[in-house]
Amino acid sequence: MIKNLKIDEKLEKYIADHSYKLHPIQKEIINYNNKLGKIKKLQISMTQAYFFQLLIKMNNIKKILEIGTFTGFSALSMGLVIPKTGKITCLDLNKKTSDIAMNFFKKANMEKKIKIILGPAINNLKKLQKENKKFDMIFIDADKENYKKYFDKSLKLVKKNGYILIDNVLWKGDVSDPDKNDRLTTLMREFNSFIKRDDRIEKTILPLGDGLTICRKV
């Protein structure tokens, strides 16, 4: 029987050393985030970023929507592998981190491929829906309180057979600990149960980073 592994920092580094090479601007963003203290953990893990890149290449994904961009690591990682005609639309309400992200995108010559729409994500998702926009892949990584709403809107915005990915679904592992019942852990459990019941999608939870749900719209 295969035993599940506990992925600590050492093992994560080993995986990194034996799987992929980072682009210089990915490295710059990681270095920048590392200096921010605790909030550096907002960024997705390198393994998640590489998984996104493989998924994009395997499925010829061109149009991506990202909900929650921070300083740009996940968006840049995806931007590096989409084809020339590809586009990434990012939604975030923080002007300061969005300006920092835009600077990194410019440095990587990616300002034409990636744009950030500032403001509360839910308003901009409604606008995108009104404009009849469709995406091959949507990545949800913003405020957890609105995950259900983001998921519902994403289902409308993603093409048939397209992907919706959702970060932080294992919430530091707390979701399976009966002694952890704080607001966000409870919210994440409710969200995971809600996704499980939804038969408009095929889905699984991958133990990458803080837990990543991958859904395919059927």
Burial annotation 102-112 (CB, 10 A radius, 16+ → b, else e):
bebbeebebee
Any contact of residue 91 with ligand SAM (CB under 6 A)? yes
51 touches ligand SAM by CB under 6 A: no
CA angle 115, 120, 121 (to 5 degrees): 60
Q: Can residue 73 be called a binding residue for ligand SAM (CB under 6 A)?
A: yes
End-to-end CA distance of the chain: 32
Gyration radius of the chain's alpha carbons: 17
| Contact pick of 25, 51, 52, 68 for ligand SAM (by CB under 6 A) | 68
Task: Please tell me the distance from the alpha carbon of residue 43 to that of residue 74, in angstroms, as a whole number.
Answer: 7
Q: Are strands 114-118 and 87-92 parallel, antiparallel or unpaired?
A: parallel
Q: Taking CB under 6 A as the rule, does residue 150 contact ligand SAM?
A: no
Closest approach of Cβ 160 to ligand SAM, in Å? 25
Nearer to ligand SAM, 43 or 213 (CB): 43
Asked if 125 and 67 count as a contact pair (C-beta separation under 8 A), the reply is: yes
Q: Which stretch binds ligand SAM (CB under 6 A): 7-15, 141-149, 196-204, 210-218?
A: 141-149
Of 62-70, 106-114, 158-166, 203-211, which segment contacts ligand SAM by CB under 6 A? Answer: 62-70
Instruction: Using the minimum distance from each CB to ligand SAM, give the nearer residue, 28 or 141.
Output: 141
Q: How are the residues of the chain apportioned to helix, strand and coil, as percentages rounded to the nearest 5?
A: 50, 20, 30
Binding letters toward ligand SAM, positions 104-133, x by CB under 6 A: ----------------xx------------
Residues in contact with ligand SAM by the rule CB under 6 A: 42-44, 68-71, 73-74, 91-94, 97, 120-121, 141-143, 146
